[in-house]
Amino acid sequence: MLLLVTFAPIVAAVLIMLGLPARTTALAASALTLLTSVLLFFGFDSIAPGFQFVFTIPISTELRLNFALGVDGLSLLMILLGAIVLLAAVWFTGEIEHHENAFYACLLLIAGGAIGAFASLNLFFFYAFHELALIPTFLLIGIWGTGNRRAAAWKVTIYLALGSVILLVGLIMLYRAVPSSARSLDLRVLQAAASAGQIAPAMQPSIYLVLLIGFGILISLVPFHTWAPEAYASAPAPAAMLHAGVLKKFGLYGLLRLALPLLPDGARHWSGLLLVLLLANIIYIGLVTIAQRRLDWMLGYSSVMHMGYIFLGIASANILGTTGAAILMFAHGLSIALLFAITGEIRKRVSSLDFDAMGGLAKQMPLAAFAFGLGVFAAIGLPGFSNFAAEIMVVFGAFRNGFDYQHFHIFQWAALLALWGVVISAVYMLRAYRRTFFGSSAESEIAIADICSGFRFPIALLVAASILFGFFPQIAVQRIAPAFRNYFTASQ
């Protein structure tokens, strides 16, 4: 089943390029991927230790290289996210004027690369699957994007390629830090070596810093964030849904999977720097987001801003905070995918996404207004959505780190400052919602068709998943928390 969920999108992309009907094949592969990921998620044994559904093919004994897939609660939640957003993105795509087969194939390759990276138990394929998804991102923005799409495509490619090179250096450093007798690309072997103390504490800060920079560029951590808003504003809506909603989570997943558990001394050494950078993501980028005057740029910056909360959960280095970070990765992927999907439909119907040129669209597009409103409520952390449950865990996890009864610790101050981000996000999201759908403008006087009623299914899929994990976060917590118990003490 894990092999199927990993390769169904990739095989479908190849078949589409060979001539099979693009939309039908993509929908079928996406539905199969989602169905299989749901079966994996609810068939996962939250009590059993270690990775499950393991599939291994030996490749080279001399290089100690094998193709290995496996999941725990963390990777399983990310795979489920990728499957949900993939189906929604394909459903929202519709007809493409030119090179339709290539467009759908690129979408499937992005999702396949992300899912493959989440499922990989070998560092080589963990890295290779992510690289597989970068080329389709460049093509989707450069060929089918809007605005200054070619400049945006090159900018995102240069940034992400630089991040990938730095990440590769960090992975090599991590591999070489283990004694030669225990050296392996297999993640399980590296975890055992780290648990046995075979990665020298003196080497960990330098390795962690390189990994943080590499992953940070891919995640759009300040000051490596400038590629993201322009890329998402220029990308076709389905591409923005998949990249912002799923592929960007690769870097966060890598920090949770590799940097934090394998290099705890390095994480502790650089925790102060990470707190400063993540607060810049939350406060500084939040204020920049308020200043935006276009809907697509506002969503692009908001995606960068919300990464700060996930970094805060990672920096907390305890079960509560990291579990909240993992759930927030899932929750943010759903909400930002929905917002980009509706924005893409609005773009097709209005002359400009500038706030000053819009207003009153709720009269013409009531379904779009309702769906966008749900996405806004989820993004600002309204109770009932998974974003709220995740942010609560992140803030409490960060506040609990290094608790001292005598005085406030740096993590308590960071948690309090991060709470202002909730206010900031509410300001820019609700203002954007009001200026787009209410009031009046020249656009509201023109007959504009609402989004297709057939889009109710992907909207319902994204919203239902967010509400399910919002009301019942224990469904995810029961599966994710065991993945971190080996790394943190029970008292945390």
Position 14, amino acid: V
Question: In this structure, which amino acid lies at residue 89?
Answer: A
Q: Beta strands 52-60 and 65-71: pairing type?
A: antiparallel
DSSP 56: E
pTM, two decimals, is 0.92
Q: Please give the backbone phi and psi of residue 66, each rounded to the nearest 5 degrees, phi first.
A: -140, 155
Cβ atoms within 10 Å of 360's Cβ, excluding its own: 19
- The pLDDT mean for the chain works out to 90
Provide the 10 A C-beta neighbour count for residue 182.
Answer: 13
Q: What is the pLDDT of residue 445?
A: 60
Rounded (10°) CA dihedral 372, 393, 282, 398: 180
Confidence (pLDDT) at 466: 95
**Structural contact between residues 232 and 289, judged by C-beta atoms closer than 8 angstroms:** no
Structure tokens at 109: 């390759």
Tokens of 125: 């394929």
CA angle 288, 294, 297 (to 5 degrees): 55
Q: How far apart, in whole angstroms, are the C-alpha atoms of residue 68 and residue 397?
A: 32
Structure confidence at residue 140 (pLDDT): 93
Task: Please determine, for residue 181, whether its predicted confidence score (pLDDT) is greater than 80.
Answer: no
**Sign, CA torsion 262/268/269/270:** positive
| Predicted pLDDT of residue 446 | 65
Q: Which pLDDT band, with edges at 50, 70 and 90, does 492 fall under? A: very low
Q: What is the pLDDT of residues 105-159, one digit of tens each?
A: 999 999 999 999 999 999 999 999 999 998 899 999 999 988 888 999 999 999 9
- Boundaries of every domain in the chain: 270-492
pLDDT, one tens digit per residue, over 357-415 is 887 888 888 999 999 999 999 999 999 999 999 999 999 988 887 544 445 578 888 88
pLDDT for res 253: 95
Flag whether pLDDT at 26 surpasses 70: yes
CA distance 452 to 373: 17
pLDDT of 210-237, one tens digit each? 999 999 999 999 999 999 999 999 999 9
Q: Which two tokens stand for residue 402?
A: 């290094």
Residue-level pLDDT at 447: 67
pLDDT band, very low/low/confident/very high, at 444 (cuts 50, 70, 90): low
Query: Helix 386-400 crosses helix 319-347 at what angle (to 10 degrees)?
Result: 140
Residue 209 has pLDDT above 90, yes or no: yes
Task: Please give the pLDDT value at position 97.
Answer: 81
Q: Locate the DSSP E strands across 26-122.
A: 52-60, 65-71
DSSP secondary structure letters along 120-154: B-BHHHHHHHHHHHHHHHHHHHHHH--SSHHHHHH
> What is the mean predicted confidence (pLDDT) over 271-294?
93
Residues in CB range of 44: below 8 A, 6 or more apart: 52, 53, 71, 73, 76, 479
**Could you tell me which of 237, 260, 265 has the C-alpha nearest to residue 74?**
260
